[in-house]
Structure 1
Amino acid sequence: MDATEFRETVEAAKRTELDRLGSSQLLVALTDAELDAESVLRVAAGSEAAAYGTFSSWAEDEDHDAAREAFETVAEQEAEHYERVVAAMDHASDAAESVEAAAEADSGPMHAYLRGRDDTVSRVAGGMVGRSLVSLRTHTQIISFFVNEADEKRADLFRDLKNETKDTLERGLELLDGGRETDDDWERARTTAEYVVQLAYDDYADALGELGLNPKSVC
């Protein structure tokens, strides 16, 4: 297997979940149906902080040099994303806290699972590939939200964040490809990436269910 086949395999296996995560109902679930700009930005900031917490913790104990450098880079990027999202809030001074403090908040089941990974292949596949596939859908919905709000400045912010998330995905795929993984490694990578997508989907479906909505009706 190579990186291209790996991505295609994961996306094919989780096509339904990714399609539903990419629906307009995603922000309804994430904001508990509070569809206003500040609620969307708070959710986005929390997601960036959670990712910072995951990647910074990995960077502290990762033995693989290239992966450790990648985790350090992504952690710095997520910290910057957090600061940029907070700065975009109408009441940024009230919402501002350090990314380290924000990362200590409940990060949800996906990041709880990711932070428990202790091998390089699972970390790269889960954090840089699986999570990025989910995050790209989230960014797309946030961009659409702000376009509909006629707020191009904030829409452009999330276009930038989405492009940087694409870079993270590509770097993760390159790391997997460059490591010349065995068949067992590729299988572990696939299983991990798919499980991360499933966790994100289950969390989304549970949130919709609490609102009395059925994710299966969303295409």
Structure 2
Amino acid sequence: MDAADTLDAVREASASGLERLGSDKLLVAVTGADLTSDAVREAAVTRERGRASALAAWADESEGAIADAFDAAASAASERADRIPRDDVTTADAETDALSAHLETVDGTAEQIGAGLVASPLVADRFYLQVVSFFVNEADEGSADAFREMRTAASDLDPARDALAELDDEGRETARDAAVEAIDVAYEEYAETLTEMGLDPKPTC
């Protein structure tokens, strides 16, 4: 199983969760039904900062190409957070999302690659899909375009491919399992939040 096979395996195993995380209910869950521009931006900053923090710590603990992959992803996430206009006080007080909190608990290089470089970009792609749609609906094309660029950058799997290529087959299997687990964490937060609001997290046909 090479890097491409690993990514395909994660997508297949987490297909339902990723699909639901891309639903129009996502921002309702993420913002606690506070569907304002400020709340959406704050959610984006919180997620980018959480990802950057974990990845930067892992980069310091790693070596070679894997450290480079963690460092590149951490720097990119930090830069995205800095580019998003927001209320610093409110954002600083924002509750950490479940995936960011989960990343802080992940041990083992292969597990960190799976959770931080595979799962996080896949979840970010779903998140930014809805952020873009939000600003389109707000008729704020400038913000929509900016977040389209962020979606492309945040969902970049090149660091994951580089890091996975440094692992052996067993390591890639471990990374796959860790990625699936991390996506499950993100989905469970989404589903539980909506359920508490009296909403069904599953799509209706």
Q: Same fold (TM over 0.5)?
A: yes
Letter in 2 for 1:175: A
1:214 counterpart SS class: coil
Matching residue of 2:201: 215
Matching residue of 1:189: 175
1:66 aligns with 2:52: no
C-alpha separation between the residues in 1 aligned to 2:24 and 2:108?
35
- Mark the runs of 5 or more structure 2 residues left unpaired by the alignment: none
The count of aligned residue pairs is 204
The 1:59/1:186 distance shift into structure 2, 3 A limit, reads closer
Per-residue CA shift, 1:74-131, capped at 9, x if unaligned?
222112111111x2x4xxxxx236xxx94x9653332232222232211111101111
State TM-score, norm by structure 1: 0.86
Matching residue of 1:92: none
Identity %: 35
State the Cα distance separating 1:217 from its structure 2 match. 3.6
Name which of structure 1's ranges 191-200 and 112-121 shifts more when overlaid on structure 2: 112-121
State the Cα distance separating 1:218 from its structure 2 match. 4.6
- Mark the runs of 5 or more structure 1 residues left unpaired by the alignment: 90-94
1:170 aligns with 2:169: no
Letter in 2 for 1:36: T
Letter in 2 for 1:157: A
Name which of structure 1's ranges 50-59 and 134-143 shifts more when overlaid on structure 2: 50-59
2:155 counterpart SS class: helix
CA contact (8 A) 2:66 2:162 kept: no
CA contact (8 A) 1:23 1:218 kept: no
C-alpha separation between the residues in 2 aligned to 1:8 and 1:23?
21
| 1:106-121 matched pairs, under 5 angstroms | 106-121=95-110
C-alpha separation between the residues in 2 aligned to 1:33 and 1:128?
29
1:202 aligns with 2:188: yes
State the Cα distance separating 1:159 from its structure 2 match. 1.1
Please identify runs of 4+ aligned residues in structure 1 that moved more than 3 A. none
CA contact (8 A) 1:126 1:189 kept: yes
